[in-house]
Amino acid sequence: KAGVTQTPRYLIKTRGQQVTLSCSPISGHRSVSWYQQTPGQGLQFLFEYFSETQRNKGNFPGRFSGRQFSNSRSEMNVSTLELGDSALYLCASSLAGFSYNEQFFGPGTRLTVL
């Protein structure tokens, strides 16, 4: 079974631009979560989607948004990029997103904002 895939793996953008990251979950998984990882803040939850519905959102500004498609693939978008948005963005999928469901992580997208 293929794992979680994320594209692109690396991105370089400049301040003020916007970026879209993509995540394909494991086949059969309907929950997709996004996390931001930085050296200073560690792993922080961005949002979670299940059946195209956002069920939870972390404490991030409105510049961070996401969506999920009917095939469970998910995208996240960051508008008006700031230097502090440089991070590793991790996507995770699980069967249903419940607290006891294992979450499987992709390799991440490394975003650098110049």
Partner 1 sequence: AQSVTQPDIHITVSEGASLELRCNYSYGATPYLFWYVQSPGQGLQLLLKYFSGDTLVQGIKGFEAEFKRSQSSFNLRKPSVHWSDAAEYFCAVGSNDYKLSFGAGTTVTVRA
52 binds partner 1 (CB under 8 A): no
Least distance in angstroms from the C-beta of 53 to partner 1: 11
3-state secondary structure of 24: strand
Q: Tokens 């991790």 label which residue?
A: 90
Q: Cα dist. 94→16, 25, 83 in Å?
A: 33, 8, 31
90 binds partner 1 (CB under 8 A): yes
38 binds partner 1 (CB under 8 A): no
Closest-CA residue to 66 (of 37, 43, 100, 91):
91
Least distance in angstroms from the C-beta of 80 to partner 1: 25
Site for partner 1, rule CB under 8 A: 4, 31, 33, 35, 42-43, 45, 48, 50, 55-56, 58, 90, 92, 97-108, 110
